[in-house]
Amino acid sequence: MIITTSQTVGDRQIKEYLGIVSAAQVMVLAAGNKGVQRGWQTGVDAMVEALKQQATNLGADAVIAARFEPFGSNICATGTAVRLA
């Protein structure tokens, strides 16, 4: 499964758009810059797995235009599940 922030996947063509996938998670951030960075990265990693699972359930090969946004004490992720040619 490919997850990309781009609108394309290299030189591969998009065969079919399958829909929006999304996820949200409460972030637990420890004090200090390193704690915040680890918390953010842990949240992003969890969101990538959630997007992959949803996209796989739709029969997708990739998620394009993935975005990861902080929202209060949460991290939200969205992307578009696609089937590649």
3-16 pLDDT per residue, tens: 999 999 999 999 99
Q: How confident is the model at residue 73 (pLDDT cuts 50, 70, 90)?
A: confident
Domain 2-84 has CATH 3.40.605.10: no
Contact 30, 39 (CB under 8 A): yes
Residue 5: its pLDDT value, please?
96
61-78 burial, b if ≥16 CB within 10 A, otherwise e? bbbbebebeeeeeebbbb
